[in-house]
């Protein structure tokens, strides 16, 4: 089956999402779709919807996909091919003034094994070698865990497989990691085995990605339909017991501009787009958007040489157990703090105190500005309301707590 035509600006004005129908007969064992288009100044996203619902998304990272009962291209869900009308989903991310021509070819096989996912599973990396854990003062029955709430794999536009990412993050001394591929949940099935092999807590997530902003849906909440308005994303997360975070709200062309009638509980205040730690722009956005939101951090890791590595920054959570539900519960309760990296100065709320760790010579600052000099490797101060930071002599933020 083939579709061909030309996408125009008028098509984009009408809707961001368009659909090309594919009829799948009974007994089909594989579906392959390939999209070609004029790539000069155009960015076209690719996905798939089956009769029973979502079957995958790869955005602009791939131009083809395969779905079979037993395997699928990363970003897509394997499983039976239901008889009926399928839709290849097209996202008109960027259309030039003159439009862009396209061709979509779809092949359906009735022979078991006649089609195969084009990207075979990479060999499992060896178990990770973890650095010495960092032990920080915590409340009785809890421990501070180091992690990252924003990373990507080959299931969207990242370079690493799930096991490779788990090994890499564990090797950097992280205790937990949220794997948040764009607009898909196909990576979720791989998380338990990779977590067990590499001794790291892997939290299922999805980065809900649109032109108007990105948001993390954290937890096993199922697929979040990015075509719906953000208020629906929040409802989906809440209904399934997950958490939603507004990602990199000050992030160039990826800044958050979507309206919402209610505010999500988390904000990714610290992201690599905080280019100068002396700036207070991300903090200003957080306080203006929702000062009650829990501040978190994320590296937004995709590939070597392109992003900050996992744990830059590091989100710390004071959790009762090293498992996904306990990590998310700690964040929801506000028991979280952010440091520039895993081994850098930390500022924690423990009981009724603010505790500065490995911060000798830094300045403790509160909502009203600098308030004390830190002396020694461990220093405690009376807790006070509002966000607090550790600053270096130039006024750069090295640690942050809500």
Tokens at 194, concatenated: 């990779």
Backbone angles phi, psi at 101, to 5 degrees: -80, 155
Can you give the pLDDT at residue 124?
76
How many degrees, rounded to 5, is the angle at CA 91 between CA 23 and CA 44? 105
Q: Which of 141, 138, 221 lies closest to 178 in space, CA to CA?
A: 221
Q: Is residue 72 part of a domain?
A: yes
Of 212, 226, 287, which is closest to residue 257 (Cα–Cα)?
212
- What does the alpha-carbon distance between residue 103 and residue 46 come to, in Å, rounded to a whole number? 13
Residue 116 included in any domain: no
Cα angle vertex 286, ends 324, 173, to 5°? 35
216 and 150 part of one domain: yes
Instruction: Classify residue 137: in a domain, yes or no.
Output: no
Half-sphere exposure of 306 (CA within 13 A, CB side): 11
In which element (H, E) is residue 57 found? strand 53-59
Asked if residue 186 and residue 71 are part of one domain, the reply reads no
State CA 47 to chain mean position distance: 18
Residue 121: inside a domain = no
Residue 128: inside a domain: no
- CATH assignment at residue 262: 3.20.20.140
SS3 (DSSP) at 177? strand
Residue 164 three-state SS: helix
- Check whether residue 372 and residue 283 sit in a common domain: no
| DSSP letter assigned to residue 198 | H
pLDDT averaged per 10 residues, the chain (length 402): 96 97 96 94 97 97 96 96 97 96 97 78 77 96 98 96 96 98 98 96 98 97 98 98 97 95 98 95 97 97 91 98 98 98 97 96 97 97 96 97 96
- CA 62/CA 48 separation, integer angstroms: 13
pLDDT, residue 183, reads 98
pLDDT of residue 129: 84
pLDDT at 305: 86
Does 332 lie in the same domain as 198?
yes
Q: Rounded to an integer, what is the distance from CA 334 to the centroid of its chain? A: 19
Q: What is the pLDDT of residue 40?
A: 85
What contacts 401, CB < 8 A, 6 or more positions away?
Answer: 295, 336, 337, 338, 347, 348, 349, 354, 387, 388, 389
Q: Are 350 and 368 found together in one domain?
A: yes
The SS3 assignment for 20 reads strand
Domain annotation covers residue 125: no
* Whether residue 299 sits in one domain with residue 156: yes
- CATH number at 79 reads 2.60.120.380
Yes or no: say if 74 and 163 are a contact pair by the CB < 8 Å rule.
no
Q: Of 55, 87, 109, which one is at a domain's C-terminal end?
A: 109
Q: How many residues are given for the chain?
A: 402
Position 236 scores a pLDDT of: 98
Residue 174: both structure tokens together: 């992280």
**One domain for residues 332 and 368:** no
Residues 84 and 185 in one domain: no
Q: Which domain holds residue 372?
A: 344-402
Query: Residue 131 corresponds to which tokens in the numbers above?
Result: 């650095």
Whether 32 and 70 share a structural domain: yes
The last residue of one of the domains, among 303, 322, 343, is 343
Same domain for 249 and 381, yes or no, is no
Domain presence at residue 123: no
The structural domain count of the chain equals: 3
Nearest Cα neighbor of 112 from 152, 154, 69 is 69
- Smallest Cα–Cα separation from 124: which of 96, 71, 153, 166? 166
Q: Which two tokens stand for residue 28?
A: 């089909």
Q: Are 168 and 197 members of one domain?
A: yes
- Give Rg (Cα) of the chain: 23
Asked if residue 223 belongs to a domain, the reply is yes
Q: Is 190 exposed, middle or buried (0-12, 13-18, 19+ CB in 10 A)?
A: buried
258 and 199 part of one domain: yes
215 and 264 in contact (C-beta within 8 Å)? yes
Rounded to two decimals, the pTM is: 0.96
Last residue of a domain, one of 321, 343, 365: 343
Name the residue among 364, 396, 395 with its Cα closest to residue 382: 364
Q: What is the pLDDT of residue 137?
A: 98
């Amino acid at each position: 089956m083939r579709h061909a035509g030309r996408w125009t600006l008028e098509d984009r004005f009408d809707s961001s999402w368009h659909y090309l129908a594919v009829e799948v007969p009974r007994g089909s064992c594989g579906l392959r779709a390939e999209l070609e288009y004029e790539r000069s100044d155009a960015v076209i996203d690719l996905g798939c919807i089956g009769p029973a619902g979502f079957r995958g998304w790869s955005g602009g990272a791939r131009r083809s996909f395969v779905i079979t009962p037993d395997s699928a291209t990363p970003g897509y869900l394997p499983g039976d091919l239901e008889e009926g009308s399928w839709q290849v989903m097209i996202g008109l991310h960027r259309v030039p003034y003159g439009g862009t021509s396209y061709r979509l070819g779809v092949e359906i096989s009735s022979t078991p094994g006649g089609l195969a996912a084009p990207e075979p599973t990479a060999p499992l990396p060896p178990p990770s070698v973890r650095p010495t854990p960092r032990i920080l003062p915590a409340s009785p029955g809890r421990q501070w865990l180091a992690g990252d709430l924003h990373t990507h794999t080959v299931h969207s536009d990242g370079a690493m497989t799930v096991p490779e990412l788990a090994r890499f993050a564990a090797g950097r001394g992280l205790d937990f990691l949220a794997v948040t591929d764009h607009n898909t949940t196909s990576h979720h099935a791989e998380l338990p085995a990779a977590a067990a092999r590499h001794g790291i807590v892997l939290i299922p997530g999805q980065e809900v990605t649109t032109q108007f902003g990105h948001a993390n849906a954290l937890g096993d909440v199922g697929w979040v339909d990015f075509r719906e308005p953000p208020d629906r994303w929040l409802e989906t997360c809440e209904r399934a017991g997950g958490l939603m975070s507004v990602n990199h709200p000050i992030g160039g062309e990826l800044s958050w501009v979507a309206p919402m009638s209610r505010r999500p509980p988390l904000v990714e205040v610290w992201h690599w787009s905080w280019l100068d730690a002396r700036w207070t722009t991300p903090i200003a956005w957080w306080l203006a958007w929702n000062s009650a939101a829990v501040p978190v951090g994320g590296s937004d890791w995709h590939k070597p040489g392109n992003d900050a590595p996992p744990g830059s920054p590091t989100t710390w959570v004071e959790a009762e157990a090293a498992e996904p539900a306990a990590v998310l519960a700690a964040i929801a309760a506000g028991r979280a703090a952010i440091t520039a990296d895993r081994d850098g100065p930390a500022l924690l709320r423990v009981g009724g105190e603010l505790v500065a760790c490995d911060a000798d010579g830094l300045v403790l600052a509160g909502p009203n500005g600098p308030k004390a000099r830190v002396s020694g490797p461990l220093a405690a101060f009376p807790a006070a309301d509002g966000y607090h930071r550790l600053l270096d002599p130039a006024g750069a933020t090295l640690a942050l707590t809500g």
